[in-house]
Each structure stands twice: as C-alpha cells, then as structure tokens.
C-alpha cells in the first residue's frame, strides 16, 4: 500500500518521517548542519548546502504536500514570504486578479510592493463570474483566491473559478490561500488550483510558536521555479522551526476535529444569544453559503465573526472581560483568541471599504481553540453580560 492511499491522520504522522536508518530513532533527527560532506567533488547525498535543501525541511515539505493532495511542497520563512515567492513567478507587465477581501498582508504586498515592480493587480469580487471574465486581460497571469475570507467568512467556489479562468486561458495560474481551513478541511489542489498556500503559523503548526509558510503544487514547472526562487531569495524557515511545525502536523487531525466541535457549539450558542446580532460561521445553516461550504469543505473550521449589540465601548468591554479568550491577532492555535478587526487586523483598510465589507465597531473575530467546550461558552456568556451592563449604564446616564 502506497503512502498516498493512507488516510489523513496516518499521512500526517508518517509521510516524510521514516525512522533514522542508522540509529533507528523513531523521530528523524533535527538536522542543523549548514553544509553536507561530499564523497568526491560534486558527489553528494542530495544535500549540499542547507539553504538549498535541508533534511528536516524536506521531510516537513513532503508531509504537508501529502496532506494537501499535492506532489511538491516548498516551505518559506513565513506565509508572507510564500506569497512574495509566488508573485516572483511573474514579471514586469504581468497582471494579477485578487479576491477583494484578501488577507491584509497579501493586499499590502500586491498593492505596495509588486506594483513597484511593474505587476498590476485588480482587486475584484471574484465570485461574480461575469466580472471575473471581463477583468481577465491578455497579460493576466495569476488569480489569487482566499476562501473563506477574513473576517466575514465569505466563500468562493474554487472549482467554478478554475473552470472559468482556464476556459479563457489555460496558462493562468490559480492560487488558493487555504490558511483558514488547513488541509484537514479543504484541499484546493483537488479542485484544480495550481498552487495552494498555507500560513504554517496558523493551524498547521497550531501552537502559536512558529512563523512559517508553504506552497504546494502538482505542476512540475512551478515546483522547479519555486525551488529556484526559494534558493535564490533565501527566505527559508530554520530547521528548528521545521521540526516544531512537523511535530504540530502530527496532531492536526485531532486538533481540527476538536476545533470544529467547539466552534459549532459556540456558533449555535451565540446565534441564539439575545446580545448577539449576527454570527458568521460557514457551519451554520443561516450562513448564506452553507451549501457551498458543505460541497467544498470537509468541515467548517473554527474561525468565526460575531456582531454584538452595542457600540465600540461594548466591544471593548466584551473583549476585556473574556478570561479564556486572549485578545490578540492571529489564529489557529490551540488557545482561544479574539480580536477587533476594525482597530486591529483591518485598521489599515480605508473606512469606506471597511463599511462595505461589514467591518463595524461591533464585529469581533473569534479563533475558537480546543479548550473544554463548556468553559469557552461560559466565558463568552459572562463577557457578553458584563459588556451589556456597561452599555445599559451609559445609556441611562445619557438620559
Ligand atoms: C497569517 C496569514 C497569512 C500570512 O502568514 P504569515 O505566516 O503571518 O506571514 C496569509 N494568509 C492568511 C489567510 C493568513 O491568515
């Protein structure tokens, strides 16, 4: 039985992780060497210099590629370095189409770095297929999708977009940022995407202690070119980070199951809560794209946004009253995190656009962790009640 036939959790633990052939150590040794001995000039074991290739990094790349149902994986020092390397596949004069509410760092790179190198980007509502078709030009070389998006959990149909794009020009590279779902819940390569990106810093490492990214692909030419860029630019992760992230990967399946179980319980509780106006979670039947979520994803993940009743003061009181949730940016770790997009992750988005995207003063993003379900729900409940008391008091004082 070949490795590809094994289920997800088995591949997560075994692919790229053969016991050490010399010592028998069950966990492959962390390979810190910068350089590798050659038996004669130019004769080596496949490793020459650690920027170009490192055994710990290689093992990790193989594991994640397998989980994303891809042949090749190329790891970088961050999710953002992965994005930059992919855009480096292009040249001056090329055109990119990106989903409009793309991750802020991707938006920043495309609109403030890539543009200075002559690469122009159109940010559009990619789910509008007529708009997508009319935006594709003869120099369009790459489409950047993220699904679900941040913080309002909008989704796009990856397969439908691939079909539309490839029917116009088969050479256009379709990239999907899969960070919010992780390979456990969504595999863009199986829907025809050319490259799938994950910020390892989130679910894949899962312990909020590594910054790293990876691109995976089935396309041999793209793989070769990305390896060339990885080696040329040198934005590689350290072996130690690869070792830690590899350890994280082994529990990705069990973590994601618990993340989702908690998130679904939290979403249902909040949807019925009198102090909550709206809950954006793909696993709820009330989510406008719940059917697409069921078709495209193997689960619904653990990211959600909620709109609470009140104003900015209510939001601040709510966030400061939470005891289990930590007020912090980022997501995907074992611990519950919360944040206020309008003043934190999305502060750089112009106010008009924030309003258009529904990022108001009371929109709060939650990354539901894997603590006890009941503790998480009780924490949210007590904080909502405290926040509401504060807004009631203020209201009375104003009378
Ligand atoms: C965090 C994140 C990134 C960037 O990854 P870093 O590892 O922080 O550079 C890209 N896309 C999404 C969706 C993210 O959440």
Strand order in 303-308's β-sheet? 276-280, 303-308, 363-367, 337-339, 326-327
- Minimum-distance ligand 1 atom for the alpha carbon of 150: 13
76, 77, 78, 79, best to mutate for ligand 1 pocket (most atoms within 8 Å of CB):
79
Q: Is 91 exposed, middle or buried (0-12, 13-18, 19+ CB in 10 A)?
A: exposed
| Alpha-carbon Rg for the chain in angstroms | 22
Hey, which residues does 145 pair with through a beta bridge? 176
Spatial distance between the Cα atoms of 283 and 263, rounded to a whole number of angstroms = 9
How far CA 318 is from CA of 74, 160, 313, 378, 384, in Å, comes to 41, 40, 8, 13, 6
| Closest residue by CA, ligand 1 atom 4 | 79
**Ligand 1 environment, Cβ below 6 A:** 78-80, 103, 105, 146, 177, 179-180, 199, 201-202, 211, 213
| Closest residue by CA, ligand 1 atom 7 | 79
Spatial distance between the Cα atoms of 345 and 253, rounded to a whole number of angstroms = 27
85, 185, 202, 339, best to mutate for ligand 1 pocket (most atoms within 8 Å of CB):
202
Say how many Å lie between the CA of residue 312 and the centre of ligand 1: 26
Q: Which of 101, 155, 177, 128 is nearest to 355 (CA)?
A: 101
Ordered domains of the chain (ranges, CATH): 3-249 (3.40.640.10), 253-398 (3.90.1150.10)
Say how many Å lie between the CA of residue 132 and the centre of ligand 1: 24
Q: Which of 366, 163, 175 is nearest to 280 (CA)?
A: 366
pLDDT in tens, 304-361: 999 999 999 999 999 999 999 999 999 999 999 999 999 999 988 888 888 988 999 9
Give 325's Cβ-side CA count (13 Å radius).
Answer: 30
Say how many Å lie between the CA of residue 105 and the centre of ligand 1: 7
Structure tokens of 58?
């290689």
Residue 257 has φ and ψ, to the nearest 5°, of -60, -45
Q: Give ∠ CA 395-312-386 in degrees, rounded to 5.
A: 65
CB within 8 A of 163, min separation 6: which ones? 192
Q: Give ∠ CA 208-214-219 in degrees, rounded to 5.
A: 160
Say how many Å lie between the CA of residue 349 and the centre of ligand 1: 16
Q: Is this model's pTM higher than 0.75 or not?
A: yes
| Closest residue by CA, ligand 1 atom 6 | 79
Catalytic residues: 51, 103, 177, 202
For each of the chain's 399 residues, which pLDDT tens digit applies? 577 789 999 999 999 999 998 999 999 999 999 999 999 999 999 999 999 999 999 999 999 999 999 999 999 999 999 999 999 999 999 999 999 989 999 999 999 999 999 999 999 999 999 999 999 999 999 999 999 999 999 999 999 999 999 999 999 999 999 999 999 999 999 999 999 999 999 999 999 999 999 999 999 999 999 999 999 999 999 999 999 999 999 999 999 999 999 999 999 999 999 999 999 999 999 999 999 999 999 999 999 999 999 999 999 999 999 999 999 999 999 999 999 999 999 988 888 888 988 999 999 999 999 999 999 999 999 999 999 998 787 777 766
Is the N-terminal amide bond of 4 cis, ω within 30° of 0?
A: no
| Closest residue by CA, ligand 1 atom 5 | 79
Q: Which of 100, 181, 241, 178 is nearest to 367 (CA)?
A: 181
Say how many Å lie between the CA of residue 80 and the centre of ligand 1: 6
- Minimum-distance ligand 1 atom for the alpha carbon of 331: 15
Say how many Å lie between the CA of residue 199 and the centre of ligand 1: 5
Q: Cα 62 from chain centroid?
A: 19
């Amino acid at each position: 039985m070949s490795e590809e036939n094994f289920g997800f959790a088995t591949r997560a633990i075994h692919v790229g992780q053969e016991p050490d052939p010399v010592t028998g150590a069950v966990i492959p040794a962390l390979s810190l060497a910068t350089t590798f001995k050659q038996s004669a000039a130019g004769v080596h074991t496949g490793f020459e210099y650690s920027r170009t290739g490192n055994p710990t990094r290689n093992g990790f790349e193989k594991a994640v590629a397998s989980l994303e149902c891809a042949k090749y994986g190329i790891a970088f020092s961050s999710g953002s370095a992965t994005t930059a390397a992919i855009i480096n596949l292009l040249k001056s004069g090329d055109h990119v189409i990106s989903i409009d509410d793309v991750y802020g760092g991707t938006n920043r790179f495309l609109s403030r770095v890539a543009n200075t190198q002559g690469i122009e980007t159109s940010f559009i509502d990619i789910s509008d297929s007529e708009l997508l078709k009319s935006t594709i030009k003869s120099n369009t070389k790459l489409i950047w999708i993220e699904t679900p998006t941040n913080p309002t959990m909008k989704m796009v149909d990856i397969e439908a977009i691939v079909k539309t794009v490839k029917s116009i020009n088969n050479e256009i590279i379709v990239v999907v940022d899969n960070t919010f779902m992780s390979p456990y819940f969504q595999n863009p390569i199986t829907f025809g995407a050319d490259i799938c990106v994950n910020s390892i810093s989130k679910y894949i490492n899962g312990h909020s202690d590594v910054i790293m990214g990876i691109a995976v692909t089935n396309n041999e030419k793209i793989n070769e070119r990305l390896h060339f860029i990885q080696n040329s630019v040198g934005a590689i992760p350290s072996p130690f980070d690869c070792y830690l992230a590899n350890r994280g990967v082994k529990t990705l399946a069990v973590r994601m199951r618990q993340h989702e179980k908690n998130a679904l319980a939290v979403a249902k509780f909040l949807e019925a809560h009198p102090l909550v106006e709206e809950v954006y979670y793909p696993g709820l039947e009330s989510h406008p794209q719940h059917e697409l979520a069921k078709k495209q994803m193997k689960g619904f993940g653990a990211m959600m946004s909620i709109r609470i009743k009140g104003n900015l003061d209510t939001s601040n009181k709510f966030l400061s009253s939470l005891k289990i949730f930590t007020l912090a940016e980022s997501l995907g770790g074992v611990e519950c995190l919360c944040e206020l997009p309008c003043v934190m992750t999305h502060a750089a988005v112009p106010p008009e656009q924030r309003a258009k995207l529904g990022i108001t003063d009371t929109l709060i993003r939650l990354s539901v962790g894997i603590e006890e379900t009941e503790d998480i729900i009780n924490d949210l409940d007590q904080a909502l009640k405290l926040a509401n008391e504060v807004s009631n008091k203020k209201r009375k004082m104003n009378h």
